[in-house]
Amino acid sequence: MSNAEFKKQLQEWRQQLHRIPETAFEEVKTSAYIAQELKKMGLEVHENIGRTGVVASLTVGEGNGIIGLRADMDALNLMEVKKLPYRSEHQGKMHACGHDGHMTTLLGAAKLLSTRKNFNGTVRFIFQPAEEIGKGAQAMMDDKLFERFPVDAIYGLHNMPGLPVGTIHTKSGPIMASEDNFVIRIKGKGSHSSSPHMGIDPLVIAAEIILALQTVVSRNLDPLQTAVVSCTEIHSDGIRNAIPSNVEIKGDTRSFTPEVQKLLEERMRSICESICAMHGAECEFEYTHEFSPTINWDECNETAIIAANNVVGVENTNSDCVPIMASEDFGKFIEEIPGCFVFLGSKDEDEEVIPLHNSHYDYNDAILETGAEFFAEIIKLCLAK
C-alpha cells in the first residue's frame, strides 16, 4: 500500500467511525466495524471484552515480549453542529473528543505492523469502551483483560487541539489528574420567604459551604502540590416565595496523588458537616473516586520520547510537558502495569482552536498517520528483531 493509499484508508476509517458515534457501553456498531477491519488484516480478534471492547493480537517471530496499544471508542451525548458530509447519523451523539481519530490511529498502526512485520514478539491492539465515564478500563480488567491477553507494557495517546499539529508531548510521572465526584445534601427547614426566622435556610448554608471549600486548596494543601475543587451544580426544592428545605450541591475534584485525594475528601467532609451543624441543619456527604490519575512510568516514557524523536523529530517532541487537570481512564491500566500516555498536537497554524467536548469539534485527519507511525515505532523499539 502506497503512502497516498494509506492516508486515504485512514480518512475512510475515521469518517466512517465518525458517522456511527455510540456512548459508553453502547459501542456495538463501532466494535463490530473495528473487529471487521482487524480481521481483514489477518489479526486474531476477540470481541465483547468488558462488554463492548475489542482486543486483537499480532505475533511476528518467536520473541516473548508483548506490548499493548490502546484506543478509546465511546462518543458523547452532544448534538453535532457542523454540516459535515460524514456527520453523525445518531441523533444527539457525536465524536466530540476525537475517539474516532484514536481508533483510526490504532487501526493504522495495526495496518503498518501487519504489513511491515518489522518486530519480534506480540502486539495487543486494545479498543476500550466507556472512557468518558471512567468505567471502561475497569470493566475490561474485570473481564480478565490482562490475564487473558497479558502485556509487558501499554501505550496510549490523546489528540490535543491546543498544541501544534504533528507535535508529541509527554512527561515522566503525573500527566493527567484523577477525578473524584462529590454530592453534598443539606437538609434544613423550609419556611415562607417572608419569615426566614422560622426555618433553617439551606441555601445560605450552601453558600457558606461553597466558599469554604475553596480554602481546602488554598489553606490545607501544600502550595507545591496541585488540586482543583469545583462546585458545578446546585439544586433546591424551593420556589420563588418559599425558602427550601433541601439543597444539593454537586461537583468534582482533581489531583495527582492518593495522599491529596485523601486530604481533599477528609477536609471537605469536615467543612460540610461542621457548617451544617453550626446552623442546626443535617448534612449528607458523598465522595467517589471516578478516574485514577495517569502517571507515566519512567522507562515507558523514555521509550515514548525516542519513538517521538524518530517519527516527528526532536524539535517537535516535548519530553517534559506541563501536566493537565483533565482525567483519562487510561490511568486505571497503568496502575496495574507499566505504561505511558502522550498528547498528539492537532492545531493547524492560524486556525481557531475548537476545544474537545465542543459541538463544533472535528478531528484533524492530518495527524492520523503521525499517530499510527508513533505507535508502530513504539513496537519496533520495544520488540526489536
Write out pLDDT tens, residues 35-49: 999 999 999 999 999
pLDDT in tens, 356-374: 999 999 999 999 999 999 9
pLDDT in tens, 172-217: 999 999 999 999 999 999 999 999 999 999 999 999 999 999 999 9
1 has pLDDT over 90? no
Q: Which CATH superfamily is domain 3-176+293-382 in?
A: Zn peptidases (3.40.630.10)
350 has pLDDT over 90? no
pLDDT in tens, 236-248: 999 999 999 999 9
pLDDT in tens, 272-323: 999 999 999 999 999 999 999 999 999 999 999 999 999 999 999 999 999 9
Region 20-43: mean pLDDT is 98
Q: Any idea what DSSP says for residue 110?
A: H
Domain ranges in the chain are 3-176+293-382, 178-291
CATH of region 178-291, choose from 3.30.230.10, 3.30.70.360, 3.60.20.10, 3.40.50.2300 = 3.30.70.360
Which range among 50-54, 152-156, 267-271, 349-353 shows the weakest confidence by mean pLDDT?
Answer: 349-353
- The Cα-based distances of 269 to 50, 121, 259, 284 in angstroms read 34, 50, 16, 9
190 versus 349: the higher-pLDDT residue is 190
pLDDT in tens, 88-103: 999 999 999 999 999 9
385 has pLDDT over 90? no
Q: Mean pLDDT of all residues in the chain?
A: 98
Region 219-231: mean pLDDT is 97
Region 137-162: mean pLDDT is 98
β-pairing, 153-164 with 339-347?
Answer: parallel
153 versus 351: the higher-pLDDT residue is 153
Residue of 285, 217, 218, 287 whose CA lies nearest to 256: 217
* Ordered alpha helix ranges (H), the chain: 3-19, 28-40, 99-116, 136-142, 145-148, 202-215, 258-279, 298-312, 330-336, 368-382
Max Cα-Cα span within the chain: 81
Q: Can you say how many angstroms the Cα of residue 85 is from the centroid of all Cα atoms in its chain?
A: 27
* 297 HSE (CA, 13 A, CB side): 18
Model pLDDT, residue 16: 98
